[in-house]
Structure 1
Amino acid sequence: MTPVSTVETSSAAPAQDPRQRRLETAMKRHQYRPDALIEVLHTAQELFGCLEPKQLLHIAHSLRLPPSQVYGVATFYHFFSLEPKGVHACVVCMGTACYIKGAAQLLSALEQATHIQAGDTTPDRQFSLGTARCLGACGIAPAVVFDDQLEGHQTPATVYDRLHTCLSGTP
């Protein structure tokens, strides 16, 4: 990834891109207030799939914030991604209840099956693997989120089956 400080600092954004127009509308709705940074970053992430350095610089300029502050917020929160994510995603809860009930084994099974580590995306951009401190689903530990669907009482076999279902496109 190119460091933010070395990217061209032009605030001009491609006006013909409808996603960019929607981002501009969101910033205007927040009156270009610097305290709307997280909301604007969420909007940009939803529209573009990730927060590229050029986009971060545009947001910094538009909200009148130092690029380092925008980059710092984008890298601090786990929700934000500076690289494109996969078509399918899995997040393994690593909270205490889930960890005690086998979350590490679930993560290991997924890492072995996909040949990637937590926080990475497969080279074909089909699958991203992540972890969370806590999903708030302790009663169904160990819990995993596959493509925004919370699933509890998981085992290495069930996560492997779910992974196969995601990647094969079969129900």
Structure 2
Amino acid sequence: MASLTESSRERVERIAARYPERRSALLPALYVAQEQDGYVTDEAIEDIAGILGISPAEVKGVASFYTMYYNRPVGRYVFQVCGTLSCALCGAEEVIRFLERKLGVRAGQTTPDGKFMFEVVECLGACGSAPVMLFGDRYYENLTLDQLDRLIDELRSRPAEEPQRAPQLTGVEARD
């Protein structure tokens, strides 16, 4: 497992400097750690605690509370499919079955090549445009199996060193 790199430490320091209380930078600091390694390592938790002046237990508690942070290696590309009522009524079950077939894994599992993981999550807050999937920082609303098929094929064709950003499928660019 890895500690924060010097670059990640500097990012966390810059983020923390924007807050009157350094501890308030905890969520973005966890995001930096996860961006570095794909998940939040125990060493990163120790580093973040030291930088922000809080206990490792507090950092671990926050990291384990939020579902957006992973405490174990996951696929390079993680799809979060809403499984609540609105999405279920509008096709989420078909999306889940499609992902199981296309990727050859069940929800919560990572493909043998380490490239993909999908999980079924609670409401993503876009009930009016169900079914909805979150990939990286991009929502895929009114998701169709054809869109999902194209997305996976595009991601499979990417070289390993290419950034993990979600491809544009809907004509709405993600905000940074």
Matched with 2:154 is 165
Q: Write the letter of the residue equivalent to 2:78.
A: A
State the alpha-carbon separation in 2 of the partners of residues 68 and 75 from structure 1: 10
CA RMSD of aligned residues (A): 2.9
Matched with 1:54 is 43
Number of aligned positions between the proteins: 158
TM-score by length of 2: 0.70
1:73 to partner: Cα distance = 0.8
Q: Write the letter of the residue equivalent to 2:81.
A: V
State the alpha-carbon separation in 2 of the partners of residues 101 and 45 from structure 1: 32
Give runs of aligned pairs for residues 1-171 of structure 1, distance below 5 A: 17-30=6-19, 33-146=22-135, 148-156=137-145, 158-169=147-158
Counterpart contact for 1:26–1:43, Cα < 8 Å: no
Larger RCO (CA within 8 A; separation ≥ 6): 1
1:62 to partner: Cα distance = 2.9
Counterpart contact for 2:108–2:117, Cα < 8 Å: yes
Superposed CA offset, 1:111-162 (max 9, x none): 2321223233323222121233122222221122345443333355553443
TM-score by length of 1: 0.72
Q: Write the letter of the residue equivalent to 1:81.
A: Y
State the alpha-carbon separation in 2 of the partners of residues 32 and 59 from structure 1: 14
State the alpha-carbon separation in 1 of the partners of residues 9 and 112 from structure 2: 27
Q: Percent identity?
A: 32
Q: 1:117 to 1:72 in 2, by over 3 A?
A: farther
Q: Write the letter of the residue equivalent to 1:166.
A: L
Instruction: Flag the structure with larger Rg.
Output: 1
Superposed CA offset, 1:10-67 (max 9, x none): xxx67x7322322233334446633432232233333443211001011123333232
Q: Which runs of 5+ in 2 are unaligned?
A: 159-166, 168-176
State the alpha-carbon separation in 2 of the partners of residues 151 and 121 from structure 1: 21
Q: Write the letter of the residue equivalent to 1:120.
A: Q
